[in-house]
Amino acid sequence: MSDEFYIKRCLELAALGSGQVSPNPMVGCVIVANNQIIGEGYHQQYGQAHAEPNAVKAVLDKYGEQAESLLKQATAYVNLEPCAHFGKTPPCADLLVKHQLKKVVIGNRDPFSGVDGKGIAKLKNAGIVVVSGVLDAECRHFNRRFFTRIQQQRPYVILKWAETANGYFATNDGHQKWISGALAKRLAHQWRTEEDAILIGKQTAIIDNPRLTSREWPGKNPIRLLIDKNLQVPQSNHLYNDEAKTIIFNEVKTDVAGNIHYIQMEDMHFYLPQKIAFQLYLMDVQSVIIEGGAQILKQFLEAGLWDEARVFTSSTSWNEGIASPVINGNLQEQVQVGNDKLSIYINDLNK
């Protein structure tokens, strides 16, 4: 099998950690000896063992006394450079050196300053053959949230909304009216399990009274983010319940009350997207879905502070309403989701 085959297998394994390892990257590891996979592992949970220790453990558990000799003739495949620093866990590069693997094949070099070539150097200095850059673009896209946080000091920003067939986003009179169907809603709940946080503004909170949880898909709830400058959303709102951590950006106070975290900001009418993005970066929030309302989405679009937009278009039309945000991005994909069409746009300027 080719190096590309095994790196693709690393990505399949790594994806099993989706939603569980942030702010770490998703990483999978495959160990091959005599053209056979002898061990596999992936990073399963933030703060716990990385992919390489889990793969090595699989070899040790399966092969017992034979394991050490097998590892000395083995090649380890990993979609991201093995770490070289002590964090929540010991350096993975040191573990591969300890077991004297013959070769290590890597997808991406790790851009994090604590690694960034240091893992590769440790392996090479120990006499291990290192090949890097295998499926580099594919691996980078896979961990695009991690790369964005490290290289741009902000979270990966996903805009999401639904619009009618003739381009309306919400009603004029402020009453809630569903646009997309049940399948679109379920898919949106799946997305919530995959991202760190979800953001809405005051008007959306008051009109829709959403829970912003992942109740229609198994997995974790995202951190709920609310922009409420003067704390006008009533505390009877669902966002104040204990189903998920909630952060409220406001100009009134900084405080913590149970799972509700108030973060005070100055002059929220100036550079709000940039301020929120930087605050989330400081809090190790690696990705955020922005669900509205129209003004919040428009601000992030105008600031160019978005990476991906997911837009559901209904088959129904309205006579009037608030116009949908105007997206200026590269249309990447269109798929049918029930009666709705999902369009996914990429902001090429942030690549």
| Amino acid residing at 25 | P
> Cβ distance 46 to 23 under 8 Å?
yes
The predicted-structure confidence for 120-163, as pLDDT tens digits, reads as follows 999 999 999 999 999 999 999 999 999 999 999 999 999 999 99
- What pLDDT shows up at residue 176? 81
pLDDT grade for 351, boundaries at 50, 70 and 90: low
50: annotated binding-site residue?
yes
Predicted local confidence at residue 112, as pLDDT: 86
Residue 163 labeled ligand binder: no
pLDDT of residue 116: 84
162 is in an annotated binding site: yes
Long-range CB contacts (< 8 A, 24+ apart) of 4-8?
A: 4/134, 4/135, 6/30, 6/32, 6/37, 6/77, 6/105, 7/77, 7/79, 7/105, 7/107, 7/134, 7/135, 7/138, 7/139, 8/135, 8/138
pLDDT digits (tens, 9 = 90+) for 217-252: 999 999 999 999 999 999 999 999 999 999 999 999
Using a pLDDT cut of 70, give the percent of the chain over it: 99
Residue 97: per-residue pLDDT: 95
Asked whether residue 83 is marked as a ligand-binding residue, the answer is yes
Least confident piece of the model among 100-104, 138-142, 178-182, 183-187: 178-182
Measured in degrees and rounded to the nearest 5, phi and psi for residue 279 equal -60, -40
Above 80 in pLDDT, residue 87? no
Amino acid at 9: R
pLDDT computed for residue 142 by the predictor: 97
State yes or no: 81 annotated in a binding site: no
Would the pLDDT of 187 be above 80? yes
pLDDT score of 283 = 96
Is 291 annotated as contributing to ligand binding?
yes
Residue 178 annotated as lining a ligand binding site: yes
Which residue in 4, 12, 52, 243 is the catalytic one? Answer: 52
More confident residue, 176 or 150: 150
In the structure, what pLDDT confidence band is assigned to residue 84 with cuts at 50, 70 and 90? Answer: confident
- What mean pLDDT value characterizes the chain? 94
**Is 251 a residue of the active site?**
no
Residue 192 marked in a binding site: yes
pLDDT of residue 115: 83
Task: Check the annotation: does 29 bind a ligand.
Answer: no
Structural domains of the chain, with CATH = 3-148 (3.40.140.10), 153-346 (3.40.430.10)
